[in-house]
Amino acid sequence: MAIKYVFLLALACVCVHGKSIYKICVPAQYLQACQEMLEVPTKSKAQLKCIAARDRVECLNYVQQRQADIVPVDPEDMYVASKIPNEDFVVIQEYRTKDEPDAPFRYEAVIVVHNDLPVNNLDQLKGLKSCHTGVNRNVGYKIPLTMLMKRAVFPKMNDHSISPKENELKALSSFFSQSCIVGKWSPDPKTNSAWKSQYRQLCSLCEHPDKCDYPDNYSGYEGALRCLALNGGQVAFTKVIYVRKFFGLPVGTIPAGTAEQSPDGYSYLCVDGTKVPVREKACSWAARPWQGILAHNDVLAQLTPLREKIKQLAEAGTSSKPKWFTGVLGLSEKIYHVADNIPIRPMDYLNKANYTEVIERGHGPPETVVRLCVTSNVALAKCRAMSVFAFSRDIRPRLDCVQEASDTDCLKSVQDNGSDLASVDDMNVAAAAKIYNLHPVFHEVYGDDKTNNYAVAVVKKGTSYTKMEDLRGKRSCHNSYGTFSGLVAPLYYLINKNLIGHDQCIKNFGDFFSGGSCLPGVDKLENNPKGDDVSKLKKQCSDDSNPSKCLQEDRGDIAFVASADLSSFDSSKYELLCLNRDAGGRDSFANNATCNIVKSPSRTWLAAKDFLSDVSIAHTPLSLAQLLDTRTDLFNIYGEFLKNNNVIFNNAAKGLATTEKLDFEKFKQIHDVIKGCAAA
């Protein structure tokens, strides 16, 4: 009886007054586009309702929890979905191309060789010259690497003195005599350059071996075939449709075309070592599944109206391709043919193409992991979500998550080899590094240009202030007590310039801005344990203590914030006070890198000094940040998480970068200047 009741409830959720209503989950950035999509007329009477989530990862959870019914996904998202506890997802539609509307997979990975190449098994690929589409790409890198790892003659990749990615590059350079594998081998420019120098034979068949990056005439699907045909390559890894196009053969609905090379001299090399002429049906190693629509199991009871609705919307958007076409439905310039399939569980769907094996490929036991230490249940949940997501996107080493009670406990955990990375905010980097024998590995960057953050002073246009001395007796607005930009930077500046005394510096700080300030949190017990009079520093606060509001409502004459916060100010009404310039002066928000108080220390991640490879430990978070740089709709790792802010990463962060030790000398100096400041 209970099961029947739940089933009837599920039907009630999608049917109202005889009309089918389905909730489609979209990343919040596409909510408006989704609303526009709802206005598109279709013959289908089924109705869609837009449900906004943080990103696609959260959408998967919404569908699982019945807060939404469907979400468009990539194969990698299907893998993530399969790892959600108690999941009951089904793939209900596939997104295919108009060129290949009946193809079972998006593309199939193949090996192409010269007919006269004397090989009759895959072991004999050793020592040959290889042509690839590019690093980290499916048919040209991940799939062949997955298959070659099964061969006894392929080098082992479990050297823990180097990173998993370098293990791959080292193995490929040992197995093949020369290659062309272009692209960014590492998200860190110095490491990328060093690897390309060390494993230069992997670039020797490229058009530009010294650059070994896109664009290159011998990279990409057709470029790998040019490398084979024109540049001395002996084996090429690419996909079927481009083989047929390259050799002028018909494919799907595309008729025969002009051939770059005659097909008569080339064959597919099959897994069993046999050869098949490229004119014939290809033998594939593995395939990448199509993208599609993922739903929860209850949707199957009312599936037909939904399928028709999606197909009609796709058809309606094909010619103009509005924002909802790509952002909401996940269709693209080439992939917009919506096909119905027999509903199938996501893991079964991936296994059908042997794609699970590609996603889960390892480097040999024991697999390397990088252990990130966190201090809250919310951070632990986010870390675990990041781990599965990164793993699905072929980012290695695998991210593991360790929870400790406090930031100090995390630092001790790294010191004692209980974890590998712990984050430190503001000026604590230098102290933490010294106390726990750790060193900085990577840090957050901010702004559209993904540079450092700065402590800045904002003033109204039209006022006459050009230096800090002009603000004596005026009013000030601040980011919260204890923040670098809101308190530490202006306090350091005033002390360093001898504008206030070092003793009783907080009291002196309040006396300098005698018109009153708003320094949120200054009256909290932990910040003022002696109960000193801090009324001056709270005088200008209101219900909304945001410094931009404080300045806007004329409760202050200057605001001390981080450059990452400048988006909350109207740049037509405010500008910066250039306290870092000897002559003072003012400048626009756009020039905050040269007009500020001082550079702010970013949230930074520390590792033990004896860790064998900083490259290995930083590769996973840096690669994750690089992947999501322009795709926060997939997983917004910097935004709020479960309605909590600044979880693992600051909300204002825009990326991650490797850290130079010299970055922290200035912060140590600032720490020394304000060290021991009395509360009052």
Cβ atoms within 10 Å of 448's Cβ, excluding its own: 7
For residue 118, what is the enclosing H or E element?
none
421 DSSP assignment: B
Using only C-alpha atoms, what is the Rg of the chain?
Answer: 29
Q: How many Cα neighbours within 13 Å face the side chain of 140?
A: 26
Backbone φ, ψ for residue 663 (5° rounding): -55, -25
**Nearest-angstrom CA–CA distance, 559 and 518:** 9
Would the annotation count 501 as a binding residue? no
Question: Both tokens of residue 664?
Answer: 């922290």
Helix (H, G, I), strand (E, B) or coil at 10: helix
**Nearest-angstrom CA–CA distance, 628 and 655:** 9
- Taking Cα atoms as reference points, which of 276, 279, 280, 260 lies closest to residue 268? 276
Question: Both tokens of residue 660?
Answer: 């130079």
Would the annotation count 140 as a binding residue? yes
**Nearest-angstrom CA–CA distance, 524 and 609:** 37
**Nearest-angstrom CA–CA distance, 54 and 28:** 6
- Taking Cα atoms as reference points, which of 164, 162, 144, 163 lies closest to residue 154? 144
335 DSSP assignment: E
- Taking Cα atoms as reference points, which of 233, 220, 238 lies closest to residue 128? 233
200 burial via Cβ count (<10 Å: 0-12, 13-18, 19+): middle
Task: Give the bridge partners for 562, in sequence order.
Answer: 455
Task: Give the bridge partners for 286, in sequence order.
Answer: none
Would the annotation count 137 as a binding residue? yes
Q: At what angle do helices 614-627 and 164-175 cross, to 10 degrees?
A: 100
**Nearest-angstrom CA–CA distance, 348 and 289:** 11
Would the annotation count 214 as a binding residue? no
Would the annotation count 408 as a binding residue? no
Question: Both tokens of residue 359?
Answer: 């996603």
By DSSP bridging, strand 107-114 and strand 558-562 are unpaired
Backbone φ, ψ for residue 251 (5° rounding): -150, 130
Q: How many Cα neighbours within 13 Å face the side chain of 395?
A: 26
**Nearest-angstrom CA–CA distance, 377 and 621:** 20
**Nearest-angstrom CA–CA distance, 602 and 455:** 11
Task: Give the bridge partners for 439, in sequence order.
Answer: 607
Helix (H, G, I), strand (E, B) or coil at 399: strand
Question: Both tokens of residue 642?
Answer: 């479960």
Would the annotation count 587 as a binding residue? no
List, as residue ranges, the binding site for Fe(3+). 74, 107, 221, 425
List, as residue ranges, the binding site for hydrogencarbonate. 133, 137, 140, 486
List, as residue ranges, the binding site. 74, 107, 133, 137, 140, 221, 425, 486
